[in-house]
Chains A and B, each alone.
Chain A
Amino acid sequence: KAGVTQTPRYLIKTRGQQVTLSCSPISGHRSVSWYQQTPGQGLQFLFEYFSETQRNKGNFPGRFSGRQFSNSRSEMNVSTLELGDSALYLCASSREGRKEDGYTFGSGTRLTVV
């Protein structure tokens, strides 16, 4: 079966711009989580969506937002980009978002802010 698909794979944006990243989870998976990965901070949780509702949110500013559609596909948006937003953004899906499920990750979107 198809894995978690993230688009685009690479992005270069200018400070102050906004960006939208997309994630298509594994078919049948209803929970989608987003993580930011940087060398300095490691993997940091952004938010989790389940059945079109944000169920959990990490400690990121309001410039970071997301949504989930009825087909479980998810997007995240970052407005007013800062240099520090340069990172690998990972999307992970699980069937029900339960502790024991574990995640299936996409390959990520590499965002560079210049």
Chain B
Amino acid sequence: AQSVTQPDIHITVSEGASLELRCNYSYGATPYLFWYVQSPGQGLQLLLKYFSGDTLVQGIKGFEAEFKRSQSSFNLRKPSVHWSDAAEYFCAVAGGSYIPTFGRGTSLIVHP
């Protein structure tokens, strides 16, 4: 079975500060991993994905994520947060089933 945990329900950062959102997955082999962002009242938008190769992947909007097999993690990072990054962020894993399982999400609050 596949599962994903996002340990932080809310994260608050100041505009211009760096950001790291945590994601831990459970799956026996290398899974397919995704990060999505959801703005209020909208659907989810794919930020980036990983399934093989370089463990540091670049995505849209200046985001990147690093796959660490030893820690079963796929944390999302951004060096400098903008107020427009305030949203809900979801990590997802697709392992044995190609239907992805989503985490419960992390709400990002950006202070001016």
User: Which of B67-75, B77-85, B93-101 has 4 or more CB atoms under 8 Å from chain A?
Assistant: B93-101
- Closest 3 pairs between A and B when the two form their complex, measured CB to CB: A105-B43, A43-B102, A99-B98
Query: Which residues of chain A from 46 to 95 have a CB within 8 Å of any chain B CB?
Result: 48, 56, 58, 90, 92
Number of B interface residues, CB 8 Å?
22
Chain B contacts to A: CB under 8 angstroms: 32, 34, 36, 41-46, 49, 51, 90, 94, 97-105
**Contact flag A100-B43 (CB < 8 Å), given A42-B102, A42-B103, A45-B99:** no
**Contact flag A100-B51 (CB < 8 Å), given A45-B99, A56-B97, A106-B43:** yes
Partner among A98, A99, A103 whose Cβ is within 8 Å of the Cβ of B44: A103
Q: Which chain A residues lie closer than 8 Å to B97 at the CB level?
A: 56
Q: Which chain B residues lie closer than 8 Å to A58 at the CB level?
A: 99
Query: Which residues of chain A from 6 to 26 have a CB within 8 Å of any chain B CB?
Result: 6
CA distance A99 to B97 in the complex (A): 8
Q: Which chain A residues lie closer than 8 Å to B103 at the CB level?
A: 42
Q: Which chain B residues lie closer than 8 Å to A27 at the CB level?
A: none
Chain A contacts to B: CB under 8 angstroms: 4, 6, 33, 35, 42-43, 45, 48, 56, 58, 90, 92, 97-100, 102-108
A105 x B32 contact (CB < 8 A): no
A48 x B44 contact (CB < 8 A): no
Q: Which chain A residues lie closer than 8 Å to B101 at the CB level?
A: 45
Q: Which chain B residues lie closer than 8 Å to A97 at the CB level?
A: 98
Find the residue from B43, B45, B46 having the highest chain A CB count within 10 A. Answer: B43
A42 x B51 contact (CB < 8 A): no
Find the residue from A33, A35, A99, A103 having the highest chain B CB count within 10 A. Answer: A99
**Contact flag A100-B49 (CB < 8 Å), given A90-B44, A105-B43:** yes
CA distance A103 to B35 in the complex (A): 11
Q: Which chain B residues lie closer than 8 Å to A104 at the CB level?
A: 46
